[in-house]
Amino acid sequence: MATAGTSSPSHASALGTRAYASGKHIIIVGAGLAGSLLATALARLGYRVSVYERRSDPRAKGYVGGRSINLALSTRGLHALRQLNLADVVMRDAIPMPGRMIHGVDSSTTFQPYGKDDSEAINSVSRGGLNLTLINAAAELPNVSFHFDHRCVDVDLDTPAAVFEDDSLPPEQRTPVRVAADLVIGTDGAFSAVRMRLQKNDRFNFSQDYLEQGYKELHIPPTASGEFAMKERALHIWPHGGSMMIALPNKDKSFTCTLFWPFKGEHSFENLRTPADVLTFFRKHYPDAVPLMPTLAEDYFRNPTSSLVTVRCWPWQHAGKVVILGDAAHAIVPFFGQGMNCAFEDCSAFIDLLDKHQGDFARMLPEFQSLRKPNADAIADLALANFIEMRDKVKNRAFQWKKKLEHVLHACFPRAFVPLYTMVSFRTIPYAAARARAARQWAVVRTIALAIGFTLVVVLFLVAAIARR
């Protein structure tokens, strides 16, 4: 796989058995999006891959909703999927969103495009549906085995090996099972068991920062005639300064809505205690959504309220034998829609570096973490900043004019000026480079604007002076 944002050629679409993978065993802890995608890529190279997951098999149990945020699949994620020939099957269930629809408290709506035209769109996909697709793709390969209901309870960093307990058994029958491998990869999410084992090492830096806001899932069903209740090709936002609701379209013509509210305060989760409270509050703050949500009160009290956390840590690997990636290494808040896309970039970089170093984990893992860490930190910062933009700024006229100016400058100078959102969502420029370039671009624009303003003042002064003669 070509690492996004580098000049190395893409070769993942032709992935085949590599001699360096022969006889080697890799354990992946976590069968989520990154773990399932990486299992497919590693197995196609010829590694024997064992995937362990603490949850039950979603192919048998089905995906349980109520605690999800629809995913915004964009260029970086699609790049990784295309390299494994999985993009087409994923996109069959995706809905392009070329812009965001802003809903006012007066029920007015304003559409704000993301890019120059509809070709620059993010894609709404179901987390559960995508996870099933990736699990099925990996499970089709003979050298991949899945072990669900297996909770990781320890990792031997130096062998390496991982220790699991089978949660499908009664507690008194659970016996820890130790599984050795050539490499252990933790893709087990923001509260990673593999990372927690790494944290017990000396000189491991770790931080987790929670937003004062949490999230709760709600639902807008199709209309009685089976159609979308709102414009389907848009990410809908009800911004309220410090809080907001969003809605993303689904293939079944419903919308998955997510509240992002503070846990405490006036516009918060703690204030709504009865169904009547919910209906009264939504009629005041989200009036156009209420008629579209027949199960609003039931959904509000049935679905859990979950936290939003940013995780940063270092190092991501130990001795070329254990490594973490995706949310396990860099969980971010969802407001730039890049959590999954960033994790998929991790997978692309991982495979690319495996080929570069001919499967030498001791050499490639240090380079992998050094390559990805600055970009993970950059998108974490950008995601936090985009939350402020979505909840506070999108209704502001000055912000709207700035966005229009960005599009004009990009249209006039497509190489010299590229909006930050375009670089993040529709390019594979490394996140850190995109952030730095955006800052330089606006510094140049401000300098030019000041120069033009100064020149205009001088000209007016000279004209006035001449007129007084």
Q: What number of residues does the chain have?
A: 469
Residues 134-147, buried b or exposed e (16+ Cβ, 10 A)?
A: bbebbbeeebbebb
Examine the domain organization and report whether 37 and 144 are in the same domain: yes
Domain match, 289 and 320 both: no
One domain for residues 322 and 189: yes
* Residue at 393 is within a domain: no
| Structure-model confidence comparison of residues 14 and 353, the more confident one | 353
Q: Tokens at residue 371, please?
A: 């390559």
Find the CATH number of the domain harbouring 238: 3.30.9.40
E strand segments, 167-254: 177-180, 183-186, 205-220, 235-239, 244-249
Please give the residue range of the domain that contains residue 264: 211-306
State the pLDDT at residue 64.
53
Same domain for 180 and 40: yes
Q: How far is the C-alpha of 117 from the C-alpha of 42, rounded, in Å? A: 37
pTM higher than 0.85 for the full model? yes
Shared domain check, 235 and 373: no
- pLDDT for residue 8 is more than 70: no
357, part of any domain: yes
Question: What would the pLDDT profile of 422-444 be if each residue is shown by its tens digit?
Answer: 999 999 999 999 999 999 999 99
Last residue of a domain, one of 306, 340, 358: 306
| CB of 89 closer than 8 Å to CB of 125 | no
Question: How many separate domains does the chain show?
Answer: 3
d(CA 302, CA 175): 35
Whether 424 maps to a domain, the answer reads: yes
Question: pLDDT tens for residues 154-209?
Answer: 999 999 999 999 999 999 999 999 999 999 999 999 999 999 999 999 999 999 99
Write down which residue in 275, 306, 337 finishes a domain.
Answer: 306
Helix residue spans in 262-335 (DSSP H): 275-285, 296-302, 327-330
Question: CA separation (Å) from 238 to 111, 191, 242, 247, 382?
Answer: 12, 30, 11, 9, 21
In contact, 204 and 322? CB cutoff 8 Å: no
